Amino acid sequence: MRPLAVLLALCLAACVHSEKERVKLLRAPRQVSDVVGIWRTVHQNVLELRQKGTLVLITSVSEAQAGDFTLDQDHITVSGMARCGGTSGTYRLQVSFHQKLVFSEPEDSCDFRRTQLTIDQYVYSNPES
């Protein structure tokens, strides 16, 4: 086999392995402490999830929105945001502890919240690091 072909085959194998590892890392949160912290997106959204089930969502398109959340297996229900008129929304939630937080499969009538939570994956941000 030519050296270039061998190198290409190795790169492709590494990409497939990396994708499998990425999927393996994401899982349903087991408890609230798995998601507690400050999370950010590349669009500069900031989401702070607190141990007592409260949250703050800061975006460039709205004033800060406070709310509440509950976890039930791999679903999170978010409620109480003024911009959403008191409605609640439910999302599938996957987390990689202190790395990534992904909201998907929204069941939410609030366009603002649905867009801001699913626009990107959130990455963990530790302000003390």
pLDDT over 90 at 117, yes or no: yes
* Contact assessment for residue 39 and residue 125, using Cβ atoms and an 8 Å cutoff: yes
- Taking only the tens place, the pLDDT of each residue in 18-69 is 444 444 578 889 899 999 999 999 989 999 999 999 999 999 999 999 999 9
Which of 107, 101, 105 shows the shortest CA–CA distance to 121? 101
* Contact assessment for residue 82 and residue 55, using Cβ atoms and an 8 Å cutoff: no
Q: How far apart are the first and last CA of the chain?
A: 47
Residue 103 has phi, psi (to 5 degrees) of: -95, 130
* Contact assessment for residue 129 and residue 40, using Cβ atoms and an 8 Å cutoff: no
> Is 1.20.120 the CATH number for 28-124?
no
Q: Where are the domains of the chain?
A: 28-124
